[in-house]
Structure 1
């Protein structure tokens, strides 16, 4: 499969089952996989109200605040208690955990990466400088702040690239100061 471009502005928003927010799927593998059968999935969620996250048994999760005041993530048994209130700092947790959240202010937008344990692992990096991104057969890149050049591709803030099923390396070069790029590489687990 070739490299696919996407823009946050044109991703379709789907409501959550519990009505607490919406999700914009960026990509998932394999193509057409549902929430019970994906190997990996990347999305952006808007959390608009307090409430429980969906449980995903056997899935490793990473979440990162993009915009907004953030949320407090917790389990009622106290094993997890985390303030997701600093943008662009990934937090890892198990999809097996019954995570609940409270808003720290208004709604927030979050970047989410999920991988099915034993099948895939995700390496999530946030870059603020030029870097070589090691090859991976599957991955997603998203310009979080500022403009970037990735090999021969120019990305403006809010634009991204996704590739599947072929090894791809990237040379990431910022187009200005005060930039951020999230690079997600998926490797067999």
Structure 2
């Protein structure tokens, strides 16, 4: 079990200059979990053969323009899409912070689920991270604050009555 504030991780600037990414966890060639600070509109990087799940964790949301369609990324709502998809991000209401799960669907299955309110989330050996959007949570005797990430496998998590949390799970393909 490891608790961290992803905003304290070293920022890596994007090639297009539209923001920075902070890598939280991963298994190279299989999956990556990161936090992106999006400060300018522009094209997304392509991740051929990969799947993406983008979840806005701060800000009003963003629009992903692609192939004549607009995908709306809203606060706390996981949005899955192909890493092959050419996307241009638009920020109608200003900068956002996104939690991004990128994974190779031939090797692993990835998911991001939303949990709200007081409950205990059972120990799940596939769960790799909990991102607390708001409220309070704890794991064993460790308190988790909004904006922090708990990296854990198979550990029960207790959410407070005001909690809104994202659980990231990864399982290997068999």
- Native 8 Å contact 1:5 1:160 kept in 2: yes
The equivalent of 1:69 in structure 2 is: 60
Instruction: Report the TM-score when normalising by structure 2.
Output: 0.90
The equivalent of 1:178 in structure 2 is: 162
**1:43-94 Cα deviation digits (max 9, x unpaired):** 111111111100001101000111113211021x22x42122x311000000
1:137 deviation in Å?
4.5
Partner Cα distance (1:125, 1:138) in 2: 10
1:9 deviation in Å?
3.6
Which segments of structure 1 move beyond 3 Å, counting only runs of 4 or more? none
Partner Cα distance (1:51, 1:103) in 2: 9
Shifted more, 128-137 versus 148-157: the winner is 128-137
Decide whether aligned partners of structure 1 residues 137 and 179 sit closer, same or farther in structure 2, where only a CA change above 3 A counts: closer
The equivalent of 1:56 in structure 2 is: 47
1:133 deviation in Å?
3.6
1:153 deviation in Å?
2.7
The equivalent of 2:19 in structure 1 is: 21
Instruction: Report the TM-score when normalising by structure 1.
Output: 0.83
Gapped regions of structure 2 (runs ≥ 5)? none
Partner Cα distance (1:119, 1:151) in 2: 31
Gapped regions of structure 1 (runs ≥ 5)? none
Partner Cα distance (2:6, 2:16) in 1: 23
Corresponding residue pairs, total = 172
1:122 deviation in Å?
1.1
